Structure 1
Amino acid sequence: MLSRTASELYWMARYLERAENIARVLDVTNRLSMMPFRETGHQDLQVPLNLTGSGTAYWEYYQQLTMPGIFDYFALDTRNPSSIYSCLQSAWSNAHAVRGSLSSEVWESINTAWIEMKRLRKEGVNSSNADDFFDWVKERSHLFRGAMFGTMLRNDAMSFIRIGTLLERADSTARLLGVKNQLLDNDPDAVREHYRMDTLLRAVSAREAYHSIYKQQLVREMVADLLILRSESPRSLRSCIEEVVNQLELIGGHSANAPRRLAHVLHAELRFSTLDDVIDTGLQRWLTGFLSQVNAISESIQYTYLEAQ
């Protein structure tokens, strides 16, 4: 496969996953903003800014940190490269460039999402239609994955799509865990802490999984265990990296040792680590290290496969 084609497929998948992750974060932020105000109430609105590192850019265009402003900037603003609109636009552009490598069903799922996104942007997103909009974004992402698994060949094209999706998902889950951990550390209110943990699980569609596995009330350590080390959870860090390893092995290649080695090392750390190991290191420090390793894998994949040699 040409490196340019692999790059388009990889980034198409990353942008689609990013759009879904932003929708999940906005959904959680919207729910938290409805809680009774506390001294730290505005910290909840900081979550999208902290996750994407776009706080400085936000204040260039908006004078106050409000939920309507967050909706506009992260859902529809073309000036924000991490907005849902910008992500879907980039995903569509990448998909359009490699239509021949996609099944007709996969292309139609992306093309239809982009056409509908342009219509929804004209209508705007506010508190009255936010839930429907977030559900729509997640639904379009699910349709894309369903079409991909159901209609595409199990070849290199599929592998690069999967790798892009999984690396973006791992990055997003780790960042969300980090931000939420900081919020929980600073909040002495047990009710708010419980609600924040619940919304965190909702953000990654893991609420039912938590109660199925642990069969107890929400405990911060168990939430971290589920989203970091449990291979049963499809959005856990271990699950994502495990599948990245599998896809890299399928692609192979004589010059592919670097990304495979980095991925295998990280997978081994996740596979043989315990929650106590993570806690002893310090969750925030451990997540920072994990993100550094994911970035190293991404850069190695970029150099090895996606840039013309």
Structure 2
Amino acid sequence: MLSRTAENLYWMARYMERAESTARLLTMGQRMAILPGAHHRDEWRSVVRATGCEENFPPDAHVRETDVVAYLMLDPENPSSIRSCLARARANGKSARTMLTQDMWEALNEGWRKLDSYDVAEARQQLPGLIDWVKTRAMTFRGAADSGQLRNEGHDFLRVGAALERAQMTLRLLDVKYYVLLPETEVIGGNRDHYQWTSVLHALSGSRAYHHVYGGAYTPWQITDFIMLNRLFPRSVAYCYDQLAYRLNRLAGWHDNRGQSQDSIKAMVEGLESVDSGEIFRRGLHETVQNGIAHTDRLANEIAQDYHFG
């Protein structure tokens, strides 16, 4: 496969996953912002901080929902906004059109300019519906790939991009919780803390899965273990790492060559396998999340080098 085609498939999947993950961040921001005292905690700043976009907001200004919707959902100049991600995913798909099924292309193409017609006021008014629309588009695309695409190296590049982006955004969702909790550690275990932690599960569509594993007990360390270490939950970091290892090993077989990315993901998987229950909280959530983000960033660079992305 041409490196250019592989790169288009990889980034198409990343952009679709990023659009959905940003929508999930907005959902969590909304849920946390309705708590008493949210204005003083600047909950929306934690959302833009988790996306890596905080430098675009004045450090001494209160970040409002209006600002976040404008920048993370609608701004065509922000390459990580939902609007930009959908447009870029379609552009990548158009460049790799022969590798897509008709259903995959229709999932990319249908309504891709929907957000062009919204101003900020309309988007805020219809935000829950728009978030659901974005999530549906991403899930339709994934379903189309699962049901019809050949399981060749093109499919593996698609899955590598999706798993890498999902791992990063799951880590960033945990970072939102860290930054919200940081100024008021004395309320750990209180009602507000409980609501914030369950909001993380809700944003990841993991509430019911968590309940199957832990029952009705909601504790910060169990939720952290579930999101980081559970190998059966498809949005956990461990599951994403397992998928990356599987797909990168398949690509090594297709190309009869192992690169640095295969060695790195092997070490990342082994690193999570060695973590005991509750250890992440004891070590420090923020440090663990930041290390995870750094490792996935490094892995992305290694994948680009190994497969000669431009």
Q: Give the TM-score range, shorter chain.
A: over 0.9
Q: Give, in angstroms, the shift of residue 66 of structure 1.
A: 1.2
TM-score by length of 2: 0.92
CA distance in 2 between counterparts of 1:99 and 1:48 reads 34
Name the counterpart of 2:64. Answer: 66
The change in CA–CA distance for 1:242 and 1:123 in structure 2 (over 3 A counts) is: same
The match for 2:172 is 175
| 2:231 equivalent to 1:234 | no
| Equivalent in the alignment of 2:28 | 28
Deviating above 6 A after TM superposition, structure 1's stretches of 4 or more consecutive aligned residues are none
TM-fit CA distance, 1:209:
1.1
Separation in 2, partners of 1:50, 1:267: 27
**What code does the residue aligned with 2:13 have?**
A
Deviations 1:154-197 (A, max 9, x none): 01111111000000000111122123123224334412111111
RMSD value over aligned CA atoms?
2.1
Deviation for aligned residue 1:256: 2.6
Are 1:99 and 2:101 matched, yes or no?
no
Q: CA deviation at 1:257?
A: 2.9
Q: CA deviation at 1:72?
A: 1.4
1:282 counterpart = 2:277: no
What TM-score results when the alignment is normalised by the length of structure 1?
0.92
Match of 1:246 in 2: 246
Q: Does the 8 Å CA contact 2:69/2:120 hold for their aligned counterparts?
A: no
Evaluate the alpha carbon distance shift between residue 289 and residue 258 of structure 1 in structure 2; reply closer, same or farther with a 3 A threshold.
same
Matched ranges for 1:194-233 at <5 A: 194-233=194-233
1:23: Cα distance to partner? 0.3
Gaps of 5+ in 2: none
Look up the equivalent residue of 1:66 and give its one-letter code: R
Q: What are the Cα deviations for residues 85-123 of structure 1, in whole angstroms up to 9, with x where unaligned? A: 011111111111110111111011000041434345698
Show the counterpart of 1:157.
154
Q: Provide closer, same or farther for how the CA distance between residues 39 and 74 of structure 1 changes in structure 2, counting only shifts above 3 A.
A: closer
Whole-angstrom distance in 2 between the partners of 1:64 and 1:283 = 26
State whether residues 197 and 223 of structure 1, in contact with CA within 8 Å, keep that contact through their aligned partners in structure 2: yes
Mapped to 2, the partners of 1:14 and 1:121 lie a distance apart of 26
User: Quick one: percent identity of the two aligned structures?
Assistant: 30
Match of 2:106 in 1: 108
- Deviations 1:56-101, CA, capped at 9 Å, x for gaps: 22349xx752112211111101122211001111111111111011
Question: d(CA) in 1 for partners of 2:301 and 2:268?
Answer: 15
CA distance in 2, matches of 1:231, 1:297: 20
Q: Which residue pairs with 1:54 in the alignment?
A: 53
Letter matched to residue 64 of structure 2: T
